[in-house]
Chains A and B, each alone.
Chain A
Amino acid sequence: MSTTSPVKSKVTPVIKCESIYKIFGPNAAKMFKGANGNVDSQAFQKAGCVVGVNNASFELFEGEMLVVMGLSGSGKSTLLRCISRLTEATSGKIFINGKDLLSMNNKELIEIRRNKMGMVFQSFALLPHKTVLENIAFPLQIKGSTTDKSISRAMEMVGLVGLAGRENYFPRELSGGQQQRVGIARSLAVEPDIWFLDEPFSALDPLIRKEMQDEFLRLQGVLNKTILFITHDFDEALRLADRIAIMKDGIIEQLDTPANIVLNPATEYVRKFTQDVPREKVLKIEAIMGPIKKMDELGELRVSKDSLIEVVAESVLSQADPVGVTNSSGDIVGSLDNLTVIKVLFGDKNSKI
C-alpha cells in the first residue's frame, strides 16, 4: 500500500495523518492503551467499544483529490471528522500544512476553520432562516467581514455555482441539487485551501448526481483545491479521484490511484468492488501499453499515454499494425496492439493483463 504520492514526496503535505485511531465507548482510551497499538475490532466490540477508525495513515498534497470510499459504518465519515476535528481522535497525529492540528487550542482551531477549511455535508445543513445569499455569506460574517464585502463575495459564489437569480430564495424553496450548490458555495466562500466533502451527492437523484459530479469536476478544474472527498459510491470515486482509499471496519484496505486499484486489488474486499468495473473506463493507455518497438513495426496512428482506453479503443482496433504511444511532448514511449485492447474490452475481468 503506497501512502505517499511518488512525485511530490519532498513537498510538505497539506494533510498528513499518522496512525489515527478513533474508538467510541465509555472507556475507549483505557482500552486503547491496553491494546498496545494492536486494535482488534471484534475484541473491542465485546468490551462495549466501537472502533471507528483503525490505524489510518496517509498524506495529501496540494491540489490533490483523495476519495475515501467505504460502505456505511466503515468509518469514513469518522475519519473525516477526526481530520476536521469535529470529533477528537483517540490517538494519532494530524498535521495541516505541517502544523499539529490536535495540539491546537480552541482559538487556533476556530482560526484555521475560518480561513483554511470548507466542508460540504450530505444533508446540505443549510440554515433554514437565511436566504441563499445569507447562507453563503454566513462564514464570512462569522469571520467578521463587513456586510458589503461578504455580500459581494457571496454574489460571486452564487454565480460560480450557477444559482444566479435565486439568491433571495430560502433553502426550503430549492431542490436538493440546488441546495447542495448552496452548500458548496458556502464552503468555498472563505477561499479555503482544504475542501472536505462528506458524501455531498449521496442524497441526490442519479441524474442530478451525475450533473453535480460534472459541475464539481469543472469547479475543481478552476479552483484546484486540496480535497478530501467521502463517498460510498465506487463509480463516483473512480470518476473523481486522483487517489482512492477504500475503508472497511475502520481500516484503510487500499490507498492507490484508481487504475492501480482496478488492476491490482490488494484484498478480497477491494476485489469485490473492482470486479464489475469496466476497465476501459478507468484505465489509461499507459497502464496496458507494451514496450517500445522499432519504427517500421508501428502503424501511422499515435495515441497519448494519458487518454482512457475507452476513448481510443475504436481507432486502435481499426489499425492493422500496433500503434505508437506518445507522452505529452510527443515522444514515443510504448506501443499498443489490437490483441491487448481486445483483451481489456472483452476478456475475463479478473485476469491480469
Chain B
Amino acid sequence: MSPVLVCEGLHKSFGERKAVDGVGFEIAAGETYGLLGPNGAGKTTTISMICGLLHKDAGTVIVDGEPIEVSSVGARRALGYVPQDLAIYPDLTAFENLAFFAKLYGMRGVAVTAAVDRVLELTGLADRGKDRADEFSGGMKRRLNIGIGLLHGPKLLMLDEPTVGVDPQSRNAILDSVDALGTEGLAVLYTTHYMEEAERLCDRVGIIDDGKLVAEGTRRDLIAGIGQRDRVTFEVAGHVEGLAERLLELPGVDGATQAEGRLEVVLKGAAARLPELIAAVSNGTVVKGVAVHEPDLEAVFLHLTGKALRD
C-alpha cells in the first residue's frame, strides 16, 4: 500500500538562515510519525510546507497521491491540520466553530450536523456544543482545536505541538485521543519537543535538529543505533562553567550538556562508571542529585546532536 504522505528533499531558507535542510520522510495509513526536536529545529516550517502554508525552496510533498503546493486547493481536502496555537473562534460556539469548518470543507445539510456531533462526542464536548469557545477551559479549547482538524475525515492529520502550555490532565486527555487516531487508519504527523510524547504515541520518530533530519526509525531502532548507552542526569550547584566540556574529555562519554543546574551525560555502562563521573562532576561543584536512565529518545537526541531536547 502506498504511503499517505511522501515528502522528499524539503528545503526552506529565511534570508541567510536555513530553516529546513533536505528533510524527507514517509507516513503510511494508520501510522503515527513523530517529528522530535527542540524549539527552532524546523518542525513547524516542515509541517507548514507539507500543508502548503509556505512555499518550498526545493523538494516535493505528495499527500494521498496528490502533490501539495501553496496554490493547491482540491488536494488539501486530504489534510487535517491542528496548529500549535489555539486556532478557534472564541466568539463562536463550539458547534458554530465546527459547522463553519465543516462547510468550508464542502459539507452540506445533515452531513454538517452529523460530522459536528461526531466530533463533539469524540472530543468530550457533546454537552458544551452551544457554549461559546471563550467560556471553555484551556483543555477544552485544545480538544476543540484538535476536533476541527478531524472534522472532515482527512487522510493525514498534522498536529503541531498540540500539548504546549496544557495542564497535565488535559495533556493526558489529548494524548489518549491522538493515540486512538492511528487505530482508525489515519496517518498522523505529530511534532513535539517532549520525548515522552514521542515515545508514547509514535510508531516511528524522526529526529530533527538545525533543519536536518538526523535520524529516523522506531524507538527500538533509534536506541539500538546508539548502542546500549545510558543517560545520567546530575542536579548541580556552584561552579558549573565548562563542566560539560570537561566531561566530554573523559573516555567513553558520548555526549554531555548542561543548562540551569542540570547536567546530562550519555555513555555506555553508566552504573559501573558512576563513581568516576561523580568525582569528575564534584570537582568544584556541589552534586545535589544523580539519576541513571535507561536508554531513551532523549539519550538518542543527546548522542546525535550533542544537545538536550529542551535546549
The judgment on whether A and B are partners is no
- Which residues of B does A touch, CB under 8 Å? none
